[in-house]
Structure 1
C-alpha cells in the first residue's frame, strides 16, 4: 500500500496550449471592469451592456445605441461616407484612422441621422468612444453641425449622445474650431425654440464637455459616467487640494446642478420618449 502511494505519479495543473486558447472564440466573454464579474457577451448585450451584478454601464457601440433608442426600422443615417483628412500631416494619423475604421466598421467617431421615438420624429447623433476615443475632429464637428441644421430645417428636436476624450490632437486647431461651430449651430436651434437633449455617457471630457455636450435644454447622464474637462490629477495639482472621491461623476454633477437627470440605461428610451411628448408642439390635436 505504501509502495502504491509513493509510486503514484505527481499531478500538475496543466496550462492550456496556444491552440486550445485560440479555440475559445474572441469576444465570447466580457469581464466587468467594476465588479470583475465575467459574463457571456451575448447575455450582456441583451442587457444593453449593463452588468447585472453591479449595474455598471459598459460602453455602447453607436449602432447598438441607435437600435436601443429609436423605434425599430425608423433610422435613416446622414453623411455615413464622410472620412477625415490629414490637414496637419500628422505622423501615422491616416494609418491609425484606417485601423479604427476596420475595427469599428465606422468611418468616424459619430453616427448621425433621424428616426422616431414612440412615433415622434427626432434627429439624433451618437458618438462612439471606440473610434479615436470619440475624439472631436473636423468630421465629427461637421456631422453634428449638419444634423443640427437638418433639425432646424425640418423643425425637429435634436438628441445627442456624447462619449469623448475631447479634441483630436492630430487635427490641432481644426479640432478646436468644432467647439465654436457646433455651439453656434445649437444657438440657432435654441433661438427657434427647438428642443435639444444632451445625453452624456462615459466618458465625456475635454472640448466636447466644454461645448456642445453641455448645452442641452435638458442634460441627462447615465449612472457613474465620468464627465469633466481636465483630469483629476491636473486639477488637484493646480488647486493644491484633494478632490472628493466622486468628483466628475454623473451623481456629483447632478447634486451640484450641472445635470438635470441621471437615468439608468434601461429607462433611458422611455425617459426620452416622455420628454419628447411633453415638448412636442401642438398642431391642433393631441400627439
Structure 2
C-alpha cells in the first residue's frame, strides 16, 4: 500500500527539447508538490516520486500537464512496488502481456540487481506463494534466488538443486520446516527426472507449506507432474539478452544445469 501522500508520476517524451524537465518541475512547484525522486525509467520516459499534501492538487496537476507540449502522461497513481523499483534502478520491469494464466516478468543479466530486489520484495510477503523462474543454464537463476532470499532476510533450503552438487532431499529437519523465515527452492528438472517417490512426496509436502517457494524450470515441472500453471503466482524469466530463446533441448541431463 502506498504511503500517505505519495504519488508516482511518469511521462513519455514525444519530442525532447532543452528545458522540458524544468517546465515540468515548474508546474509541480506552482502546486507546492514536492519531488522526492526523479529518474529516467525507460528510453524517452521519466518517472517521479511525488509528495502531495492535498490530494486535490493531483487533479489540478493532471489538467495542467495536458497543456505541456511534447509529453504524454503514462502514469499518475499511488506508487506500486514496480514503480519504486523502476525509480531505484532507472529501468522498467518488462511484463509479458498474453493469455497465460500466470504473470510473467522479463529480465536480463544486466538487470540482476533489479531482479534480486523484485523477487526479494515478494519473498518478504507472508503466506503461501509459488514463483517460477525460467532461463538457460548458467544464466544465474539459482544464485539470483539465493541473493533474493538474503535480501528478504530469509533462509533458503534446497529441496533439489545442482548449484554446488546434485541435491535431492527426501526429508527436512524440524528447523527447515519452520516456515516463518524460509524460502524453499526446487529444481523442476532434477526433481522430475531424478527424484524418486520419496523425494516427490517431500516436494508435494513443501508445496503445501505456508511459505514462499521458487521452482526453477516451471515448464518441465508442469509437464511432468500433476500440477498446472495455476500453482504459480508469477513467473520470472532471466536471459543473457532479451532476444535469447529459452529452450530445453540442452537440458535433457539435469547435471548440465550448474
Do both share a fold (TM > 0.5)?
Answer: no
Higher strand fraction: Structure 1 or Structure 2?
A: 2
Q: Report the TM-score, using the length of structure 2 for normalisation.
A: 0.29
Query: Which of the pair has the greater relative contact order for Cα pairs under 8 Å at 6+ separation?
Result: 2
Q: Report the TM-score, using the length of structure 1 for normalisation.
A: 0.27
Q: Which is greater in Rg?
A: 1
